[in-house]
Structure 1
């Protein structure tokens, strides 16, 4: 056998060993099995039952079914990231037998909803990663089965709202990452529940790069209770809606310098901390009242807008034009319409007169006597002559 052939066979054996069947990832397992990148579409069931760490990342698993992990009951670390998991079967409890598990990674999958029964059995879970999924809904009670949770990673999902009781039973939580979602309203009630569990070290909350535009007055005290908070990268609108929050700001908390105005245009790029409260106004768009008297007795039309009580406003004409130009345009339109109506009325009147004349003329003609066609019976006197 030639030297080149021997080298080829050795390389072939190495390749076959690395890309061998499913059981190869358990051939040398003791306490840790690395079954990553094995083109698996389900959880292997032939691994040693005494393993404590199992890596199944970068495979093609789509569904987690009951009893998938029942034989691996002493697992402490389970890595399921970078699969295609969209379904965690709710019947029987997928993680019910994993009471010793402390770390669970489900990041980079295709989860959309976190159900209230999804994590039942994970009584000692401390770290849960759900980043880079398509999660848009979290049911109340989802984390009730994980009271020992320390870190919760939900970044890069599609979450827009957070229900009040979602974080109500996480007394050991130390850090929660909600960055890069679509949260559009500051979750006052949900974060108020977390504040109850704040220890001396404090809970870290990351809400960077969401879609929040305003902060209610109540948000100030909640934010102040978290020493590690990140609310940068939101499209803050520094108008009258932010005034109650601004009135509480005194520069004593780090989060106060994180609020950079995205609008309105005259305040874009400025820190809310340095903005004059008098500049926090809501622009009110109004339309001038217009009454047009038209020859056809058309009634005038008026429109107005009334701002909410107690809210600073500044009136500007619709579309940014002045009230005079708006009024002028409205009257020009009224004059144009009046002219059109006048022309139409004139045409109708002329038509009516013409028809009346034509009708009378036709009627007279039809009533006049016809020339007689009978022979002439008139008598002529005969003159015999001399």
Structure 2
């Protein structure tokens, strides 16, 4: 299914979840300048191109969970300086995130990267997220290497809340960030 074309231009909340949509066209989205809430979960979106969200400057909430994302271009979110909550969870083919992906999302407070295919992450990915409060990372097949170690150290010294997330390093060289409930 393709992205619907006749969406009223003054739409503020758009629910496109569970529609088998394969792409988000920047041109059509660009006309929705009042959009603050976009739910695209459980579709078939494979990639986000640079400037996909070029006209939706007011967007605060974006849910792209449970899609088929394989790549996110470095400047996909570049105009989303008001974005507060981003959910990219349950995209098992998403193997990497460029260090510039979140460069202009300076208002981002909640980022969900659970159950993706991420194996490592450069700590510079989070460098621009100065107000990030909650980061979910569990369910990823993390590989223990120097880049990942820098990332883990960055998490440990940050003021960010990563609920119940613990770092486990094994002798096999694999590491995993998992959710673990507090005993009390």
User: Which bracket does the TM-score occupy, shorter chain normalised?
Assistant: 0.7 to 0.9
Counterpart of 2:123 in 1: which secondary structure?
coil
The root-mean-square deviation of aligned C-alpha atoms, in Å, is: 2.8
CA shift for structure 1 position 231? 5.2
CA shift for structure 1 position 66? 2.2
Separation in 2, partners of 1:232, 1:84: 26
TM-score by length of 2: 0.84
Q: How many residues align?
A: 176
Corresponding residue for residue 51 of structure 1: 11
Separation in 1, partners of 2:88, 2:177: 20
Aligned 8 A contact 2:16 2:40 in 1: yes
Separation in 1, partners of 2:154, 2:73: 20
CA shift for structure 1 position 70? 1.3
Aligned 8 A contact 1:208 1:231 in 2: yes
Corresponding residue for residue 149 of structure 2: 188
Q: 1:137 to 1:207 in 2, by over 3 A?
A: farther
TM-score by length of 1: 0.42
| Larger mean Cα displacement after TM superposition, 142-151 or 61-70 | 61-70
**Of the candidates 96, 119, 124, which is equivalent to residue 137 of structure 1?**
96
Counterpart of 2:29 in 1: which secondary structure?
coil
Aligned 8 A contact 1:42 1:61 in 2: yes
- Structure 1 gaps, min length 5: 1-40, 215-229, 235-254, 258-386
CA deviations over 1:192-241 (Å, ceiling 9, x no partner): 4456652xxxx222585887316xxxxxxxxxxxxxxx95579xxxxxxx
Corresponding residue for residue 115 of structure 2: 156
Q: How does 1:73-152 map to 2 (within 5 A)?
A: 73-90=33-50, 93-133=51-91, 134-152=93-111
CA deviations over 1:61-87 (Å, ceiling 9, x no partner): 112222121111111100000100002
- Structure 2 gaps, min length 5: none
- Is residue 168 from structure 1 mapped to residue 127 from structure 2 by the alignment? yes
Counterpart of 1:189 in 2: which secondary structure?
helix
Which of these two proteins has the greater Rg computed from alpha carbons? 1
Aligned 8 A contact 2:49 2:72 in 1: no
- Structure ranking higher in strand proportion: 2
Runs (4+) off by over 3 Å? 191-197, 206-212, 230-234
CA deviations over 1:145-183 (Å, ceiling 9, x no partner): 211100000101111111131111100100100100001
Q: 1:209 to 1:170 in 2, by over 3 A?
A: closer
Counterpart of 1:54 in 2: which secondary structure?
strand
Q: How does 1:205-220 map to 2 (within 5 A)?
A: 205-206=162-163, 208=165, 212-213=169-170
- Structure ranking higher in helix proportion: 1
Aligned 8 A contact 1:172 1:197 in 2: no
Aligned 8 A contact 2:59 2:83 in 1: yes
Separation in 2, partners of 1:155, 1:137: 13
